[in-house]
Chain A
Amino acid sequence: MTMATSFIKEINRSFLISLWFVFLTFPIMVIKVDSIEKTIQWRWWNMLYVALASFILSLLARWIKIWKQTRASTNDEDHGLGLEALIHSIIDDPRKRNVLALVVLAFALVFPFSFSSYQTVIMITALMYVVLGLGLNIVVGLAGLLDLGYVAFYAVGAYTYALLNYNFHIGFWVALPIGGLLAASFGILLGFPVLRLRGDYLAIVTLGFGEIIRLILENWGKFSHGPSGISNIPRPGLFGIHLSLDNAINYIYYIMIAFVIITIFIVNRLQDSRLGRAWIALREDEIACQAMGIDKRKTKLTAFALGAFWAGIMGVVFAAKETFINPASFTFLESAIILSIVVLGGMGSIIGVILGALVLILMPEYLRFLSQYRMFAFGAILVLMMVFRPQGLIANVRRTYKFEKKEEKRV
């Protein structure tokens, strides 16, 4: 009886919510005006879609909430999705972990030979976002500094290689460290003034910084060739051997695999280092952290610089891969995509960020018919993740010491 009445109540509630959304979306979803031709198009079907979608989604959200509550009250020990528990059990067991890593590596190494070069190019992009996500993960996930202008450092790296090559014919491998270091110094340059700012101000300043860099690149034509960009950037060289297009793509692919492995290794080591623990402490509580004798200034600056370094390196790779760059590649949306990767995967979690990058970059590539909904979905992901699962797909589990009582032997 109570079940039935509460069920009817839920239906009623969802019905009201869907009515509200029909009202809310009425002008923008239903009416479409052509003010030049003076015609109005009434799209009543959209109204039905909105009503149905909001009805089902509100029921679903309600159900998830109840499900979460009952689970929290009945079982405290078991948290996380089944998949997550599985992944954690693999990470925690070194033997399983090594086997998995070998399998993934073997798959990655034969990938270009078993798939077309089109697939390889997509994979290169995904791997670049893995590294970018891991770089931003240092700043956002570990140090807790919300950086919305991350793409600026990416742009610095890309333009470093493009301009150095255009003006001085400097090759990829020389430009690579220069791009990274230049981006890192930009990171410090931005980091210095904003050190005193609280989290949300920091987000806006970095956003402003990202836009300033893009606007300068767009308007300072003599320096950066303006909106038309720079073309004919050479691909990475291999001891002066001339590579065919397919081989050049495979070469970049293997470079990226190497970068991903190096980045995972370094970030993993950093996380458990003194510096990494200082970042995490800083994220949790700045004042307590300073009281423990951690130099806030130095810790934040290294986070900025290291995050920017990876973006700079990836910028150089991006320029080499695309052979053409212009300021339109470095808009705020790019920063938002990288942030979505970190948030979806789970802030601070390496496996999570890798998974997040692969899902967010590969899925729109293979679901082309949905590609126009891509940015819409990214926005929705950010909101939904924050509301329902702030820790991300694969939550970062901090190392904890466990005291296990030895069972006393019964005599």
Chain B
Amino acid sequence: MNYFVELFFSGLTRGSIYALIALGYTMVYGIIGLINFAHGEIYMIGAFTAFIVASVLSIYGFPLLAIVILSGFAAAVWASAYGYTVEKLAYKPLRNASRLSPLISAIGMSILLQNYVLLAQTSDFLAFPQLIPDFPFMDRYADVLGSSDLVILVTTAIAMIVLTILIKYTRIGKAMRATAQDTTMAMLVGINVNRIISITFIIGSALAAIGGLLIASHIGQINFYIGFIAGIKAFTAAVLGGIGSIPGAVLGSFVLGLTESFATGYVSSDYEDVFAFSLLVLILIFKPSGLLGKSETKKV
């Protein structure tokens, strides 16, 4: 029973991280209909920035709380800056091109960013400092739920609530929803669509960076390649929930996280990634619109 609960919580933790990344995919897809292939790399860059800032601060002897806050802030700022720049460089000039062009451009951007970090930093695995301490009150539950799992769950929940409020009740959120519904119409009622697209990229990137910081501190190591697998899995989660739908992305992430956790726990850990990819292929074959997505009919 304990094993089951442990797997359940570890699935929720995985799911939370996937959710933080998947939101970026689904929001961008909802607005410009593009699979932002480079999103996984933004997450990786967030983790690297957090690593660099946290290491520098800890060498200079800052207290732990200050390190956590500053490195989280730096990760979010720089990841957003990268997300913004990538959009301006690689996607904006292709807004009216055929469907294939922005996708190829996105793949190129993903390879470019990976190798940029590889060249500028290192190809080795780097030991990420443990930013989240073991809380004494968690000792009783330590065998099923670690402190960092708890922090990840809570942070994700807070991020979701903030995002929901932002999208439902603010002017920017309203403009984002309008742009997602109909770009031309949004332009006609005076919404600066380019700005909304930039904001979407910035929000998505910041969420991914927070995910990167949390998972890096949880696992304890990072590498320039982590964005690729995480990106594909988060994309799987977004498709599972119905791409373009924000609650769908969260639901899909938890389903994927739990599936992976139980599959590796009870079947075999060698095929961890195979489960995720097979799930992706199966969903796309049987229900391409996902769990909560609207099925679209293509009109001439």
Residue of A nearest to B271 (CB): A219
Determine if B64 is an interface residue (Cβ-Cβ < 8 Å).
no
Q: Roughly how many angstroms separate A23 CA and B100 CA in the complex, as a whole number?
A: 32
Q: Fill in one digit per residue for B256-299: 1 if any A CB lies within 8 Å of its CB, else 0.
A: 00000000000000110110011011001100100000000010
For the complex, count residues of A whose C-beta is within 8 A of B: 62
Q: Roughly how many angstroms separate A39 CA and B58 CA in the complex, as a whole number?
A: 11
B105, B115, B126, B281: the one within 8 Å of A382 (CB) = B105
Determine if A114 is an interface residue (Cβ-Cβ < 8 Å).
no
Determine if A379 is an interface residue (Cβ-Cβ < 8 Å).
yes
State whether B284 touches A33 (Cβ < 8 A): no
Q: Roughly how many angstroms separate A336 CA and B106 CA in the complex, as a whole number?
A: 12
State whether B232 touches A27 (Cβ < 8 A): no
Residue of A nearest to B108 (CB): A382
Give chain B nearest CB distance to A246 CB in angstroms. Answer: 35
Determine if B112 is an interface residue (Cβ-Cβ < 8 Å).
yes
State whether A24 touches B78 (Cβ < 8 A): yes
Determine if B186 is an interface residue (Cβ-Cβ < 8 Å).
no
**Interface with A: B46-54, B155-163, B168-176, which one?**
B46-54
**Interface with A: B88-96, B132-140, B142-150, B190-198, which one?**
B88-96
Q: Fill in one digit per residue for A142-174: 1 if any B CB lies within 8 Å of its CB, else 0.
A: 001010100000000000000000000000000
A11-39 residues with Cβ-Cβ distance < 8 A to B are 20-21, 23-25, 27-29, 31-33, 35-36, 38-39
Give chain B nearest CB distance to A389 CB in angstroms. Answer: 11
For the complex, count residues of B whose C-beta is within 8 A of A: 65
State whether B273 touches A27 (Cβ < 8 A): no
A376-393 residues with Cβ-Cβ distance < 8 A to B are 376, 378-384, 386-387, 390
Q: Is the interface of A mostly helix, strand, loop or mixed?
A: helix
State whether B52 touches A36 (Cβ < 8 A): no
State whether A197 touches B108 (Cβ < 8 A): no
State whether B284 touches A194 (Cβ < 8 A): yes
State whether A383 touches B52 (Cβ < 8 A): no
B74, B94, B110, B300: the one within 8 Å of A379 (CB) = B110
A146, A219, A287, A390: the one within 8 Å of B103 (CB) = A146
Give chain B nearest CB distance to A349 CB in angstroms. Answer: 15
Q: Which of B93, B117, B284 has the most CB of A within 10 A?
A: B284
